[in-house]
Amino acid sequence: EENVLIITSANEDEDDEDDDDDATMAIGGSRSKFCGAFGSPAAWNRQIIASRRNHFTSTAIASVSNTNINNQASSSPSTSWDGTSMSQAQFMERDTVLVTDHNDIVTSSATKKDSHIFTPTNPRGILHRAFSVFLFDASTSELLLQKRASTKITFPNVWTNTCCSHPLHGMEPNEVDGVEDVKDGSVGGVRNAAVRKLGHELGMDVKELERMSGEFKFLTRVHYWAADTVTHGEKSQWGEHEIDYILFATIPNKHALTTLNPHPEEVDDTRWVSQSQLLQMFDDDTLLFSPWFRIIANKWMVGGGGWWDDLEKTMNTNMFCDYETIHRFDPPEEHMGGGGGAGPWLCEPESSV
């Protein structure tokens, strides 16, 4: 069913989250599809309980503060982006993400740090553009997963898709896409950002990636938010609020990768998995997954008839491409709250079972 999205709160800058009840906003332009694709709420609960029981051994990340970041990051911005020489704190201070409105129109910029902080005045941070790459072995249909490093400030220690990050302002080649780029599915800016980050996070050969970039399949966009309460507690100041561009890519076989050398501050582990193996991982109470990966996987990839079932059709036709709709999701209950006490906003979450 196609709908115009009606959400509470026309402006996230209210001092009190309760003010959301008094305002509504109709989202025009891009169509909106919304609500729950998180899989079993019980499975989410099991993972959260397990994660809290294990306490994430990496206590350094649990204690990250604004002061820590300010002290670690240089006060002067870098003249060029160099993923090999910057710390996680410096990325937070220096990277300038693309701030968008709810129709994914770029309106301004913000530091990565500012856009990911959840406060009473910005209970879901600042909405910005992101991308998620899913890289498959065409010979086996296996998907390459990464486990985000324990040193990551947001969502450490979680398994997720091959690469997830942000297009940035001021990059060469350009990473900013306009309305027409999205409309025709070309999204050259997002592709450039994907090449940059696949090289940075996974150590993949940049020249090889540049050849692949034209073969990335842009499928659709997902608008979601999630407080990182699992890592930083129920009042977590950190979280995500993104319009996420989904890109699929294939290689003939995993051995065709000339390099796969994950950056230790970005990635703790990688794993090639089949659909059945991923489902087994989802059922493993000792493993954690990023909320955006859960949304995408359960909505479109597993369970029959999805994007993963026939990669050739997904990659070589436009059957699954939807450049107009922005699909919108609230997180499961465990990822609500945070520093701004954010609650349901884009849709009603699934109830627990």
Provide the residue type at 109 as one letter. Answer: S
CA distance 297 to 304: 11
- Which one is catalytic: 242, 266, 333, 334? 242
Strands (E) across 139-278 are located at 142-148, 159-160, 163-165, 217-227, 239-251, 267-273
Angle 304-33-346 from CA coordinates, rounded to 5°: 120
Neighbours of 41 (CB within 10 A): 17
| Catalytic annotation, pick one of 163, 164, 175, 201 | 164
Give the pair of three-digit tokens for residue 302: 């597993």
DSSP 39: S
CB within 8 Å of 87: residues ≥ 6 apart: 72, 73, 265
Active site residue 164: yes
Give me 71's structure tokens.
Answer: 């002290």
321 is catalytic: no
Please name which of 15, 11, 320, 291 lies closest in space to residue 160, comparing C-alpha atoms.
Answer: 291
**Enzyme catalytic residues:** 164, 242
